[in-house]
C-alpha cells in the first residue's frame, strides 16, 4: 500500500458533490500536485487530508493507519496556506518555533532546528525581523520553514505561490522543488497553475468537477491526455483533421496546410500565432530564435506533428 492512500474519498455539501470517489496513492518522498480549475475539489481534498473538513465517505490512510481517526493537530502534517498566516507580533524565528513549542520541544532543540530550517529556506540572517519587514517571497519562505521545522510526515501546500508576482513565482518554484528534494518530505500541492504543477511534480492529478480525470507524470499527461478536458487544461491544443496537435508542434513550412496569419504576438522567448485555415483557426507557438517570422496577413503553410 502507498504511503498515503485516498480510498473512494467523497465530500458532499448538501446537494453539491465537491469530491466524487477519489482514489489516489502517494509514495513516500513523492511530490504530487492536485491541479484543476476553481471548484474542481482540489482544495477540499487537501482540507480532508489535513482534518479541516470531514469526508462524507471513503477513507484516508497514512502508512496504513486510519488518518480520519486522528485529530488534526496530531496528524503530524505541515500546512502552508495561500495567505501564509504568519503571526505579525512574532519575529521570524518565533513564528518558525511556534509549532515546536506546541509539541513541547525543549528550548535548545528548538533553537537548533529553527536555525537549520531558516538556513534551508535562505533566511538565516532574517531571524529577528517581523513579517511586516519582509517581502512577499520572504514571508512565503517563513511559512514554508514553519511547516518544515516540525519534520512533518506530509507537507500540504494550498496555492502557496499565488500571491507572488510572475518572476518571483518562477524563482520560488525552483527553490521549492530544490528544498523538497533536499528534505525528501512527501508533498501535496494544490494549484490551478498548469505550468507550476508540471514544473514541480513527480505526478499530477488533473481534477474536474470533483473527479480525477488523469493521474500521471506531467510529461505523460501533456503528451497523452486521457480526456479532452485534460488536453485543453494542460496548455493550448488544436484539433486539426481530427488530430490533437499542441501549438509548439506546428511549424511554418514550404508546403502543408495552407493558411493566412490573422494574429502575431511577440512574447519574449516565443511568438504566438493564430492562423486561419480551411480546418479552422490554428494556434502556433514558435520559439524566438532571432530569425524573421511571418507577418500578420502573410500566406503560410503549416507542417503538423502530433508527436
Q: Where in the chain is the domain with CATH 3.40.50.300?
A: 4-229
Where do the DSSP E strands lie in 203-246? 203-208, 211-216, 238-240, 243-245
pLDDT band (50, 70, 90) for residue 307? low
For the stretch 70-87, pLDDT in tens is: 999 899 999 998 887 899
User: Mean pLDDT over all residues of the chain?
Assistant: 93
Query: Domain 4-229 adopts which CATH fold?
Result: Rossmann fold (3.40.50)
Q: Where in the chain is the domain with CATH 2.40.50.140?
A: 236-304
Mean pLDDT, rounded, for 6-23? 97
User: Which residue in 130, 90, 97 sits closest to 114, CA to CA?
Assistant: 97
- Tracing cell 492529478 back to the chain, one arrives at 205
> Could you give the count of Cα atoms lying within 13 Å of 50 in the half-sphere of its Cβ?
21
Q: Enumerate residues 6+ apart whose C-beta is below 8 A from 188.
A: 4, 26, 32, 33, 34, 46, 49, 154, 155, 156, 157
For the stretch 166-222, pLDDT in tens is: 888 888 888 899 999 999 999 999 999 998 999 899 999 999 999 999 999 999 999
Q: Which CATH class is domain 236-304?
A: mainly beta
Q: How far is CA 232 from CA 168, 194, 208, 247, in A?
A: 26, 11, 12, 12
Cell numbers for 296, please give them: 500578420
Q: Answer yes or no: is pLDDT of 143 > 70.
A: yes
Amino acid at each position: 500500500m502507498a504511503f498515503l492512500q485516498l480510498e473512494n474519498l467523497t465530500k458532499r455539501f448538501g446537494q453539491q458533490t465537491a469530491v466524487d470517489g477519489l482514489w489516489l496513492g502517494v509514495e513516500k518522498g513523492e511530490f504530487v500536485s492536485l491541479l484543476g480549475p476553481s471548484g474542481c475539489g482540489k482544495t477540499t481534498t487537501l482540507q480532508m487530508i489535513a482534518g479541516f473538513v470531514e469526508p462524507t465517505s471513503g477513507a484516508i490512510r497514512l502508512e496504513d493507519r486510519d488518518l480520519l481517526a486522528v485529530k488534526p493537530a496530531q496528524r503530524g502534517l505541515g500546512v502552508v496556506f495561500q495567505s501564509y498566516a504568519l503571526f505579525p507580533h512574532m519575529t521570524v524565528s518565533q513564528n518558525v518555533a511556534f509549532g515546536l513549542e506546541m509539541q513541547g520541544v525543549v528550548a535548545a532543540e528548538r533553537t537548533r532546528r529553527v536555525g537549520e530550517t531558516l538556513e534551508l529556506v535562505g533566511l538565516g540572517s532574517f531571524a529577528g525581523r517581523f513579517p511586516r519587514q519582509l517581502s512577499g517571497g520572504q514571508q512565503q519562505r517563513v511559512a514554508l520553514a514553519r511547516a518544515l521545522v516540525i519534520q512533518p510526515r506530509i507537507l500540504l501546500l494550498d496555492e502557496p505561490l499565488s500571491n507572488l508576482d510572475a518572476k518571483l513565482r518562477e524563482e520560488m518554484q525552483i527553490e521549492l522543488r530544490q528544498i523538497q528534494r533536499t528534505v525528501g518530505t512527501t508533498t501535496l500541492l494544490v494549484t490551478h497553475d498548469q505550468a507550476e504543477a508540471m514544473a514541480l511534480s513527480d505526478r499530477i492529478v488533473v481534477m474536474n468537477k470533483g473527479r480525477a480525470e488523469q493521474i500521471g507524470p506531467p510529461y505523460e499527461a501533456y503528451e497523452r491526455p486521457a480526456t479532452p478536458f485534460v488536453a485543453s487544461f494542460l496548455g493550448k491544443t488544436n484539433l486539426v483533421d481530427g488530430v490533437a496537435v499542441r501549438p509548439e508542434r506546428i511549424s511554418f513550412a514550404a508546403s502543408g496546410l495552407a493558411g493566412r496569419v490573422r494574429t502575431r504576438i511577440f512574447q519574449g522567448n516565443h511568438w504566438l500565432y493564430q492562423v486561419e485555415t480551411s480546418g479552422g483557426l490554428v494556434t502556433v507557438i514558435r520559439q524566438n530564435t532571432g530569425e524573421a517570422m511571418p507577418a500578420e496577413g502573410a500566406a503560410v503553410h503549416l507542417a503538423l506533428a502530433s508527436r
